[in-house]
């Protein structure tokens, strides 16, 4: 049996570099609670992503919950069902009602043409998702939000480092959440952040992360424990130094896949978004069974038989989760329903070899 190829593999800095980064933590014994490494990472991220404020959290989900907690309970948030569980769960756990809007068929992001019919007097925000690093149609979404006096909270978990021309994805909307999970383009082992513009939210988000305590004594809001440790921040500082290199390595993998698979009958690849500088976070392919001759599930099984593990991502739609039933009425989302049955994310990581990419493509193209 050939060596196992997982869908992803975490990038890591040189071991000695990380050891050097954590030495001061050992000496100070300051392991958490917004220590020196936390503050340094926060500052470097603000500079890199061109945003005035960045609040760090233990993971992206807690960051999202903090973002949605600023809205009154019982309010509605227009969002996408084609996303990871965290987006929808964060909305509902904040006491809000997710209203599911369909996606557009090219980049699988929220379709702005379908937003306005879903707006009611209870709507307070739009929560789009930058899927696979593909940016939402943010200009149209911003126009709708301004017209109806709504906030925009982006789930930008996949979009770290992505730019639309000179505009950083972190600058879009009122708040953007980033995940720093171990499998992301940039990671802190576990971690997440909110990028935002409103100065007045800084103390609120810091308190939310610390049990809702503004003074360190009593909980004034319903916060949680979501502090990023100093060791996680140190990993982030190391990984930032290698970010450009990691993205470039991912680009080579991405381009090899495109070279081998683009235009193949029954396979639909994402095109390039005009003017967007990508991060090559994922390589999704849609398997159209009527044309390809196999279903997505059959292709996934075929790869697994060869020790290659792709991921049905996203599947199923979050609107179909048992945990969500009872919290909202599910709207018709036919495009999302079709895509979730056809989508397959192929292995994608910086040190995936060209030989392994070719091995994956050969299996896909029935050459083995």
pLDDT at residue 367, as a whole number: 47
Render 265-330 in DSSP notation, one character per residue. TTEEE--PPTTEE-----EEEEE-HHHHSS-HHHHHHHHHHTTB--B-TT-S-GGG-TTTBTTBPP
243-364 adopts what CATH topology? 3.90.1150
Strand partners, 98: 77
Question: Above 50 in pLDDT, residue 368?
Answer: no
Q: What percent of the chain has pLDDT over 70?
A: 99
Residue pair 182/54 in contact by the 8 Å Cβ criterion: no
> pLDDT digit string (tens) for 254-285?
999 999 999 999 999 998 999 999 999 999 99
Write the DSSP assignment of 87-126 as a string of letters. HHHHHHHTT-EEEE--B-TTT--B-GGGTGGG--TTEEEE
Distance in angstroms (rounded) separating the CA atoms of residues 314 and 364: 20
pLDDT band at residue 2 under the 50/70/90 scheme: confident
Q: What integer pLDDT is reported at residue 32 of this predicted model?
A: 96
Q: Which residues of 32-51 are buried (b: 16+ CB within 10 A; e: fewer)?
A: bebbebbeebbeebbebbeb
Buried b (16+ CB within 10 A) or exposed e, 311-339: beebbebbbeeeebeebbeeeebebbbeb
Would you call 63 helix, strand, or coil by DSSP?
helix
Query: Helix, strand, or coil here: 36?
Result: helix
Quote the tokens at residue 44.
Answer: 């470097």
Grade residue 77 by pLDDT with cuts at 50, 70 and 90. very high
- pLDDT for 327: 83
**More confident call, 331 vs 45:** 45
Q: What is the mean predicted confidence (pLDDT) over 213-233?
A: 96
pLDDT of residue 318: 97
Q: How far apart, in whole angstroms, are the C-alpha atoms of residue 175 and residue 198? A: 9
Residue 354 phi/psi, 5-degree rounding, is: -65, -30
CATH number, span 15-241: 3.40.640.10
Q: Does residue 240 surpass a pLDDT of 90?
A: yes
How high does pLDDT run on average in the chain?
96
Q: What is the DSSP letter of 193?
A: E
Give the residues across from 285 on adjacent strands. Answer: 269, 344
Quick one: which of 292, 349, 345 has its CA closest to 315? 345
Q: Copy the structure tokens of residue 187.
A: 């990671």
Question: What pLDDT score was predicted for residue 331?
Answer: 81
Beta bridge partners of 54: 195
- Residue closest to 97 by CA, chosen among 330, 317, 321: 330
Reported as a pLDDT band with limits 50, 70 and 90, residue 362 is very high
Percent of the chain predicted with pLDDT > 90: 96
Question: CA-CA distance, 57 to 222, in Å (whole number)?
Answer: 16
The domain spans of the chain are 15-241, 243-364
What pLDDT does residue 326 have? 83
| Predicted confidence (pLDDT) per residue in 289-302, tens digit | 999 999 999 999 99
């Amino acid at each position: 049996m050939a060596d196992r190829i997982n869908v992803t593999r975490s990038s890591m800095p040189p071991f000695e570099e990380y050891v050097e980064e954590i030495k001061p933590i050992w000496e100070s014994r300051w392991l958490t609670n917004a220590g020196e490494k936390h503050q340094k990472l926060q500052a470097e991220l603000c500079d890199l992503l061109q945003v005035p404020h960045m609040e760090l959290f233990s993971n992206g989900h807690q960051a999202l919950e903090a973002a949605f907690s600023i809205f009154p309970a019982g309010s509605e948030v227009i969002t996408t069902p084609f996303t990871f569980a965290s987006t929808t769960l964060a909305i509902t756990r904040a006491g809000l009602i997710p209203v599911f809007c369909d996606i557009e068929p090219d980049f699988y992001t929220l379709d702005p043409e379908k937003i306005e019919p879903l707006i009611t007097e209870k709507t307070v925000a739009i929560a789009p998702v930058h899927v696979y690093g593909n940016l939402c149609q943010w200009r149209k979404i911003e126009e709708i939000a301004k017209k109806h006096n709504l906030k925009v909270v982006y789930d930008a978990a996949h979009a770290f480092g992505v730019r639309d021309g000179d505009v950083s994805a972190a600058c879009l909307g009122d708040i953007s959440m980033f995940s720093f999970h171990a499998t992301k383009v940039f990671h802190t082992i576990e971690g997440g952040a909110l990028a935002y513009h409103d100065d007045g939210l800084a103390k609120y988000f810091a308190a939310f992360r610390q049990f809702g305590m503004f003074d360190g004594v009593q909980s004034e809001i319903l916060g949680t424990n979501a502090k990023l440790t100093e060791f996680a921040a140190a990993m982030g500082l190391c990984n930032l130094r290698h970010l450009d290199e990691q993205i470039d390595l991912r680009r080579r993998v991405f381009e090899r896949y495109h070279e081998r698979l683009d235009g193949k009958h029954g396979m639909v690849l994402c095109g390039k978004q005009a003017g967007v500088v990508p991060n090559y976070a994922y390589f999704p392919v849609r398997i159209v069974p009527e044309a390809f001759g196999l279903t997505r599930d059959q292709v996934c099984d075929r790869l697994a038989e060869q020790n290659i593990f792709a991921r049905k991502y996203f599947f199923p739609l979050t609107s179909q989760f048992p945990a969500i039933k009872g919290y909202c009425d599910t709207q018709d989302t036919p495009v999302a329903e079709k895509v979730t049955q056809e989508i397959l994310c192929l292995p994608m990581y910086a040190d995936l070899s060209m030989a392994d990419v070719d091995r994956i493509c050969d299996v896909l193209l029935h050459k083995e």
